[in-house]
């Protein structure tokens, strides 16, 4: 618990905002914050696809912050043998579709189209491409597109 004192108006406003909470046992870090996502629109006015898309960007940014310069974010497919997708882009199609664009480990062009009710994403760290000087950080690039 912190020592921050809030007015009743601030407390009511905070309770109306979506909350993100994380706790990690390995390093003892935790995060408890209210957020509107990235696009600036109230959560109530967003479609399920737009809201899922924005929250995924926040998760990708957080994951990338934990990577060293030798790794980039990728997505492992759950519940099947489809493998891994190096995430190079994301999108959504209102009201309920989220799309991931990228390449598989062999360099083949890959796209996943998924309904938000079936959304199940596993973020993975893959070694960056050998010829690239800097790792490709997509979380902040995606956030700039909707801000």
State which H helix or E strand residue 60 sits in: helix 48-65
Report pTM. Answer: 0.67
With CA atoms as reference, report the closest residue to 53 among 100, 19, 2, 103.
Answer: 100
| Whole-Å CA distances, 28 to 39, 56, 99 | 30, 23, 33
Provide the 10 A C-beta neighbour count for residue 17: 14
Q: What is the pLDDT of residue 117?
A: 92
Query: In the predicted model, what is the mean pLDDT of residues 116-139?
Result: 81
Query: In the predicted model, what is the mean pLDDT of residues 21-44?
Result: 68
């Amino acid at each position: 618990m912190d020592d921050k004192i809030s007015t009743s108006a601030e407390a009511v406003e905070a309770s109306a905002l979506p909350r993100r909470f994380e706790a990690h046992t390995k390093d003892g870090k935790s995060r408890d914050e209210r957020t509107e996502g990235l696009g600036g629109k109230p959560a109530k006015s967003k479609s399920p696809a737009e809201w899922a898309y924005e929250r995924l960007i926040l998760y990708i940014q957080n994951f990338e912050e934990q990577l060293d310069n030798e790794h980039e974010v990728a997505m492992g497919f759950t519940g099947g043998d489809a493998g891994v997708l190096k995430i190079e882009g994301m999108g959504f199609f209102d009201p309920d579709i989220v799309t991931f664009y990228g390449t598989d480990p062999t360099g083949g062009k890959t796209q996943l189209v998924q309904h938000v009710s079936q959304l199940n994403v596993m973020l993975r760290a893959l070694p960056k491409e050998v010829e690239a000087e800097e790792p490709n950080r997509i979380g902040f690039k995606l956030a700039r597109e909707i801000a």
